């Protein structure tokens, strides 16, 4: 069993989710409130370590009225246990689960002792899941999250993790905020990066369920066809 996964992202009209320098303030106020309403509803929010390092996110419900109990469990996919101990993702706003790879496991002959030691330190502040693979096996990780009570999970980026999740067929819904902005840049992060598929026939197929303007932005909501 796996959580029901909703991918939410804010992108510019030209499909970028951050500039080449990592600047990513894209959504308008109304969109941020929409996202925080979803955060309040779901059991967990997940991001990749690239997003943690770029944004130092809180991943709590803080743009709308909410109580501490409304905060979902925060989840990070972090191969080498690089989450900095002083980052907000480890504060006491909510529980945090960090998925690390097999190189953090001291019983693995190919482990990296620096990563093993960082993971040990992290385990004092968060619950660690040790994947049997490198990078983190996302199918295995989703099954683990489900056993931890995460039945609904919002994925909030970034580009690399988004592609791994969709190519592993783990995403059920996609919600996109398109802002009327263009930033360009071949090195700017797009909605989905990763390796990409070689052939269009392999493209993931989706069905548009809903679309509407929201403040200055435009929202599109899709179901992933399985
Ligand atoms: N506009 C928006 O809605 C959002 C924008 N962003 C932006 O995206 C950028 C970060 O994106 P990325 O650098 O692509 O980082 P990312 O957040 O996708 O993290 C990628 C990292 O996750 C780890 N990982 C472990 N196992 C993995 C697996 N099986 N598959 C994929 N990754 C795995 C790897 O260390 C990998 O480098 C930041 O600039 C951030 O601001 C992030 C979230 C939302
Ligand atoms: N919905 C949305 N709109 C944007 O313009 C964004 N840049 C993001 N980014 C995501 O939200 C995280 C920050 O969350 P906190 O406010 O710190 O709780 C960031 O890390 C991205 O995952 N989202």
The residue whose CA is least distant from atom 12 of ligand 2 is 57
Q: Which residues lie below 8 Å from residue 202, measured CB to CB, with a gap of 6+?
A: none
How remote is the CA of residue 158 from the centroid of ligand 2, in Å? Answer: 10
The residue whose CA is least distant from atom 11 of ligand 1 is 158
What does the alpha-carbon distance between residue 161 and residue 158 come to, in Å, rounded to a whole number?
Answer: 6
Q: Tell me the CA distances in angstroms from 206 to 136, 155, 181, 222, one per residue in order.
A: 26, 17, 24, 6
Q: Per the confidence metrics, is the pTM higher than 0.90?
A: yes
How remote is the CA of residue 160 from the centroid of ligand 2, in Å? Answer: 16
* Total domains present in the chain: 1
Instruction: Assess: ipTM above 0.95.
Output: yes
pLDDT in tens, 83-128: 999 999 999 999 999 999 999 999 999 999 999 999 999 999 999 9
> Would you say 3 and 149 are in contact if contact means Cβ atoms under 8 Å apart?
no
> Would you say 191 and 162 are in contact if contact means Cβ atoms under 8 Å apart?
yes
Q: Is there an atom of ligand 2 within 6 Å of 25 CB?
A: yes
What CATH number does the domain containing 47 carry?
A: 3.40.430.10
Instruction: Give the structural domain span for 21.
Output: 4-224
What does the alpha-carbon distance between residue 140 and residue 53 come to, in Å, rounded to a whole number?
Answer: 24
pLDDT in tens, 5-32: 999 999 999 999 999 999 999 999 999 9
Q: Is there an atom of ligand 2 within 6 Å of 47 CB?
A: yes
């Amino acid at each position: 069993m796996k959580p029901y996964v909703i991918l939410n992202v804010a992108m510019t009209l030209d499909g970028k989710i951050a500039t080449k320098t990592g600047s990513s303030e894209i959504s308008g106020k109304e969109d941020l409130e929409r996202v925080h309403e979803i955060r309040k509803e779901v059991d967990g929010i997940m991001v990749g370590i690239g997003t943690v390092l770029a944004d130092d996110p809180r991943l709590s419900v803080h743009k709308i009225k909410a109580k501490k109990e409304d905060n979902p469990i925060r989840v990070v996919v972090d191969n080498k246990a690089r989450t900095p101990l002083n980052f907000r993702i480890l504060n006491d706003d909510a529980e945090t689960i960090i998925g690390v790879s097999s190189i953090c496991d001291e019983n693995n002959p190919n482990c990296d002792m620096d990563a093993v030691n960082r993971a040990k330190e992290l385990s004092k502040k968060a619950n660690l899941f040790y994947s049997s693979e490198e990078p983190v096996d996302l199918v295995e990780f989703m099954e683990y999250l489900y056993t931890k009570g995460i039945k609904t999970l919002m994925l909030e980026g970034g580009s690399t993790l988004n592609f791994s999740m969709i190519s592993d067929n783990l995403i059920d819904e996609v919600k996109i905020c398109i802002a009327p902005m263009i930033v360009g840049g071949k090195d700017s992060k797009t909605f989905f990066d990763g390796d990409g598929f070689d052939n269009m026939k392999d493209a993931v197929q989706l069905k548009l369920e809903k679309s509407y303007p929201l403040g200055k932005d435009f929202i599109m909501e899709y179901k992933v066809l399985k």
